[in-house]
């Protein structure tokens, strides 16, 4: 399964690059690479390595079409997620406060940027949850190579299950100016592993562009190419509190399809999330650093924090 997912992702990248090389739109930015890495070690607390321990998401995106009132960007992404208990050296089942879980998958998404300053994203993710993803072996090897503590709980990980999930993200600004903006963001997840809905309010301040033109949603594809790259087009801070209602979390409770897992816990129905960060944008490059803080996702756990770093390079 892992080999098939990697092969599909590489094939999509090759086809996308070939298509872009043949594209006549040389005066405009039509293609970008994006890399998102989530990790609790980015909090600079080197002892922190638990819960949502790591997420790695390389992605290719290209301009599908651009009209008078909107533009559409299509993307293909590889997903690598890892979840562990609070202390990875714990080896006994009675010590665990949540199951280990590993996910490897691929995604395809369409993003819609509307002239009325709205943003919509729809995404399909297909992959595998459980031992078949080989995430546990990867973490064990990585830690052994670099002399880090050996994770001892993968024998209790969530059992094999297919991952088929649909996601929708919608952003609508209520107030927008050059220096300050207030928006609402709605996220919906439905499928075999993640089932939840989250509502957030976004406050942005700094040198801003409207949402449909902003690095906040990586919207610069379709812009005219510029030779000089030294001028910053956006620089701002943001804060976004949110409330999430969880119907099912397969990384805690097991997938909706597949054999029952050795160890599961019940997901808490309500989770509060805060995220805040800084974003920079140049004509062909974006950089964002975002810190997340989430209340406990199951009653046995504690609150969790991690940092996400996202980079975009446009062509």
Domain count, the chain: 1
pLDDT for res 277 = 97
pLDDT for res 53 = 92
What's this model's pTM, rounded to 2 decimal places? 0.89
For the chain, which residues score pLDDT lower than 70?
A: 1-26, 227-230
Structure tokens at 270: 């309500």
pLDDT for res 223 = 86
Asked if residues 304 and 294 have their Cβ atoms less than 8 Å apart, the reply is yes
pLDDT for res 28 = 86
CA distance 213 to 110: 16
Name the β-bridge partners of 168. 122, 188
CA distance 90 to 296: 19
pLDDT for res 24 = 46
The domain in which residue 143 lies consists of 2-21+30-314
pLDDT in tens, 93-142: 999 999 999 999 999 999 999 988 999 999 999 999 999 999 999 999 98
pLDDT for res 160 = 97
CATH number at residue 266: 2.40.128.140
């Amino acid at each position: 399964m892992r080999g098939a997912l990697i092969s599909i992702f590489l094939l999509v990248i090759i086809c996308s690059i070939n298509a872009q090389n043949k594209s006549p739109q040389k005066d405009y930015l039509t293609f970008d690479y994006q890399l998102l890495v989530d990790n609790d070690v980015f909090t600079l607390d080197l002892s922190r390595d638990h819960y949502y321990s790591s997420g790695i998401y390389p992605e290719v995106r290209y301009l599908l079409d651009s009209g008078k009132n909107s533009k559409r960007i299509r993307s293909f992404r590889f997903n690598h997620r890892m979840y562990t208990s609070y202390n990875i050296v714990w080896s006994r089942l009675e010590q665990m406060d949540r199951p280990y879980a590993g996910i490897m998958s691929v995604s395809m998404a369409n993003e819609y940027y509307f002239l009325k300053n709205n943003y919509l994203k729809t995404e399909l993710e297909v992959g595998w949850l459980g031992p078949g993803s080989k995430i546990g072996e990867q973490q064990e090897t990585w830690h052994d190579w670099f002399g880090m503590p050996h994770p001892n709980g993968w024998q209790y990980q969530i059992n094999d299950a297919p991952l088929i999930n649909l996601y929708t993200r919608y952003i609508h600004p209520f107030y927008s100016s050059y220096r300050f903006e207030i928006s609402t963001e709605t996220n919906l997840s439905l499928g075999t592993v993640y089932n939840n809905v989250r509502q957030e309010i976004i406050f942005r301040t700094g040198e801003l562009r409207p949402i449909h033109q902003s690095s906040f949603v990586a919207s610069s594809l379709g812009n005219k190419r510029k030779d000089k790259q030294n001028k910053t087009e956006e620089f701002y801070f943001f804060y976004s509190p949110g409330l999430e209602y969880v119907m099912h979390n397969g990384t805690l409770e097991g997938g909706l399809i597949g054999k029952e897992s050795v160890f599961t816990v019940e997901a808490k129905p309500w989770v509060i999330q805060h995220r805040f960060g800084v974003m920079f944008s140049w004509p062909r490059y974006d950089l964002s650093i975002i810190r997340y803080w989430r209340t406990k996702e199951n009653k046995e756990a504690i609150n969790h924090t991690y940092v996400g770093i996202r980079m975009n390079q446009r062509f």
